[in-house]
Amino acid sequence: MTPQPNPEVGAAVKAADRAHVFHSWSAQELIDPLAVAGAEGSYFWDYDGRRYLDFTSGLVYTNIGYQHPKVVAAIQEQAARMTTFAPAFAVEARSEAARLIAERTPGDLDKIFFTNGGADAVEHAVRMARLHTGRPKVLSAYRSYHGGTQQAVNITGDPRRWASDSGTAGVVHFWAPFPYRSRFYAETEEQECARALEHLETTIAFEGPSTIAAIILETIPGTAGIMTPPAGYLAGVRELCDTYGIVFVLDEVMAGFGRTGKWFAADLYDVVPDLMTFAKGVNSGYVPLGGVAISGAIAETFGKRPYPGGLTYSGHPLACAAAVATIDVMAEEGVVENAARLGESVVGPGLRELAERHPCVGDVRGVGMFWALELVRDRETREPLVPYNAAGEANAPMAAFAAAAKEGGVWPFVNMNRTHVVPPCNASEAELKEGLAVLDAALSVADGYV
């Protein structure tokens, strides 16, 4: 039963939260979390009855929206039949989820190691690569996010790494391509691609190929700005990995399971990694689940030799039953196709039209239900609307933008000087147009800072 609006209950929920919940990535006394009463489809609402269109898909994971009845029923049925069972056993929900995932992952990524989420999937992918190659280092992009556990946060490029980076994790960062803010003085996508590949090959040469276990990249870096890579970049990285015997890991935790209008973003670029991480959309986050899809060659490394790693809840039956039902729903309801079609016909053109009218919009990029607007003070110089990693007063323009969107009934995703437009992959045309109209008004507020 979905809780209904009731301000008194809302106040009690909030008071208990403030007293006892320690929130992630936050200064505990400076936050004011909204008390959420319920959610359905693309919307959620608070205890005062205010409804929001969720343009964030939670943390970019409710790819089929909230409370899909078929997935809720599948979780209930699994709970009645077998709530839990340890990972060493073959369990129907687990083997079926693995089969459905392996059928959809590219190439020969046919074995699935289950985790509880994205960060531990990254941890295990890197461990597998190190053991497979016998080499210590991992190369990853500065503009990246790979998770909040220790190794995953070391691999991450974004500033959230700084506070806990010991500097001894065997991770070397490099610049991946980003034509809008090129580190390579490139004027075209082709130049950006060629120079980024040259930079990566130079990094490999100077680090020593025989010391590098893996290169890990988000297929489309998400948290760092939804930076669709130039054509040919990922294929070029694949080639470098083959040349130097390096394991190629694609992190599809955010980009996977329909987000880009394909089952996996790797399909957009026709690349097949050696390991691919996933989480979030695999079951729309209804029960925590993530994993690593593993190539035949790497699976063989652990054919006769034990893989030294595991998790108590690996392949939890409730999470796997939710994944089976989610994948079924996505196939039956054409969710992936919906993301591709409405991304191309509604969201992309709608955002480009907003960019034409709002001087604060510097760049529009994305695909499917995976878009970013980059807000700037000056379109010519591309100076960001707020400084890198701004907080407090310095972040006022983005805070004003977010407040205006919420006032209009859209919950926006805001990160640094960007808003990411990441609605559920099954959002309707009417919902998307409603959200774009609210963003239009919120961008007018941001224009005031240009």
- Where do contacts with ligand PMP occur on this chain (CB under 6 A)? 59, 117-119, 122, 145-147, 218, 222-223, 251, 253-254, 279, 290
- Residue 381 beta carbon to ligand PMP: minimum distance, rounded to whole angstroms: 30
Of 24 and 166, which CB lies nearer to ligand PMP in the complex structure?
A: 24
Of 123 and 431, which CB lies nearer to ligand PMP in the complex structure?
A: 123
Q: Which residues of 161-193 are buried (b: 16+ CB within 10 A; e: fewer)?
A: beeeeeeebbbbbbbbbbbeebbbebeebebbb
- Residue 203 beta carbon to ligand PMP: minimum distance, rounded to whole angstroms: 21
- Residue 401 beta carbon to ligand PMP: minimum distance, rounded to whole angstroms: 21
**Around Cβ 260, how many Cβ atoms within 10 Å?**
30
Of 222 and 350, which CB lies nearer to ligand PMP in the complex structure?
A: 222
The widest CA-to-CA distance across the chain, in whole angstroms, is: 64
Amino acid code (one letter) for 97 = A
- Residue 259 beta carbon to ligand PMP: minimum distance, rounded to whole angstroms: 10
Of 118 and 412, which CB lies nearer to ligand PMP in the complex structure?
A: 118
Of 13 and 250, which CB lies nearer to ligand PMP in the complex structure?
A: 250
- Residue 227 beta carbon to ligand PMP: minimum distance, rounded to whole angstroms: 12
What is the side-by-side order of every strand in the sheet holding 111-115? 111-115, 290-294, 275-278, 247-251, 212-218, 137-141, 171-174
- Residue 396 beta carbon to ligand PMP: minimum distance, rounded to whole angstroms: 26
Of 23 and 357, which CB lies nearer to ligand PMP in the complex structure?
A: 23
Of 117 and 315, which CB lies nearer to ligand PMP in the complex structure?
A: 117
Q: What is the rounded distance in angstroms from the CA atom of residue 375 to the CA atom of residue 29?
A: 28
- Residue 121 beta carbon to ligand PMP: minimum distance, rounded to whole angstroms: 7
SS3 for 132? helix
Determine how β-strand 36-40 pairs with β-strand 43-46. antiparallel
- Residue 165 beta carbon to ligand PMP: minimum distance, rounded to whole angstroms: 16
Name beta bridge partners: 52: 44
Residues in CB range of 279: below 8 A, 6 or more apart? 61, 115, 117, 118, 121, 253, 289, 290, 291
Assess contact for 449 and 400: CB atoms under 8 A.
yes
Of 106 and 147, which CB lies nearer to ligand PMP in the complex structure?
A: 147
- Residue 253 beta carbon to ligand PMP: minimum distance, rounded to whole angstroms: 3
Distances (CA, A) of 392 to 28, 33, 223, 265: 14, 16, 20, 35
- Determine the residue with CB nearest ligand PMP: 118
Of 65 and 147, which CB lies nearer to ligand PMP in the complex structure?
A: 147
Give the burial class of 1: count Cβ atoms within 10 A of its Cβ; 0-12 exposed, 13-18 middle, 19 or more buried: exposed
Q: What is the rounded distance in angstroms from the CA atom of residue 217 to the CA atom of residue 142?
A: 10
